[in-house]
Amino acid sequence: MKTQLFFALLLLLFCGLAQSSCKNETSGNHAAALPQNNMTQAAPLTAQDAQKLARAKGMTATPVSAAELSKMTATDTTALIAVVFWKMACLPCLDVQRNVQAVQLEVGESRFKILSVNLDQAGKAATVQYFLRTAGITAPVYQITDAGNRWPTSIAAEWKGTLPCLLLKSRDGWQQLYQESFSKDELTALVQPFLL
């Protein structure tokens, strides 16, 4: 009992000292107390990227069913469509999204279209919107409304819901599902034959 009382008093004393030291510090460089990271600054945006990002600032994710998404890709006449499936917690998904957008900037939107499909729960719409603003996603974003885990096979029979996931579809009916990350160069090599 005495030991427990001693530790409780020691904990209270420690908390009181920590609180008073924070209150007494009215000025100073708080950032200096934070651990430094070694991350480099992102490359500056090109004028074209900045314009696309400005257009994307007010974007929200449009709710869509898996059947509607399949219909949209089946009726599109663009040479090649990339459907990028992602969640906010999937960092490799974001890398794939950025690399696909970079390839699209090189080859042109008229020949290479991106549909960005968010798989987070529909109740996270506000969080997804904030994420879109900060992550620099400029492609049209859709959010799957189908409940359960059976809808991925309606998109592509071989897909089991693994992320990151990229579905490439050409206007002549060819489609290929990739369940892995890609660099920009790898993606360029994948899409180039369909854009010649």
- Is 48 within a domain? no
Whether 56 has a pLDDT exceeding 90, the answer reads no
Measure the CA dihedral 101/120/61/90, to 10°. Answer: -20
Which ranges of 123-178 does DSSP label H, i.e. alpha helix?
Answer: 125-135, 152-155
The pLDDT confidence band at residue 57, using thresholds 50, 70 and 90, is low
Whether 118 has a pLDDT exceeding 70, the answer reads yes
pLDDT at 12 (0 to 100): 45
119 is written with which tokens?
Answer: 């798989």
Number of domain units in the chain:
1
Query: 7: part of which helix (H) or strand (E)?
Result: helix 2-24
- Is 138 within a domain? yes
Query: 85: part of which helix (H) or strand (E)?
Result: strand 80-86
pLDDT at 120 (0 to 100): 84
For residues 156 and 51, give the distance between their C-alpha atoms in angstroms, rounded to a whole number. 33
Residue 35 DSSP symbol? P
- Is 12 within a domain? no
- Is 1 within a domain? no
> Could you tell me the CATH number of the domain that includes residue 154?
3.40.30.10
User: Residues for the chain: how many in total?
Assistant: 196
List beta partners, residue 168.
82, 176
pLDDT at 80 (0 to 100): 92
Whether 107 has a pLDDT exceeding 80, the answer reads yes
Per the listing, tokens 């992550």 go with: 135
- Is 36 within a domain? no
- Is 37 within a domain? no
For residues 153 and 35, give the distance between their C-alpha atoms in angstroms, rounded to a whole number. 45
- Write out the residue range of the structural domain in which residue 184 sits: 54-194
The pLDDT confidence band at residue 44, using thresholds 50, 70 and 90, is low
pLDDT at 23 (0 to 100): 37
State the pTM of this model.
0.67
For residues 9 and 149, give the distance between their C-alpha atoms in angstroms, rounded to a whole number. 52
- Is 25 within a domain? no
- Is 169 within a domain? yes
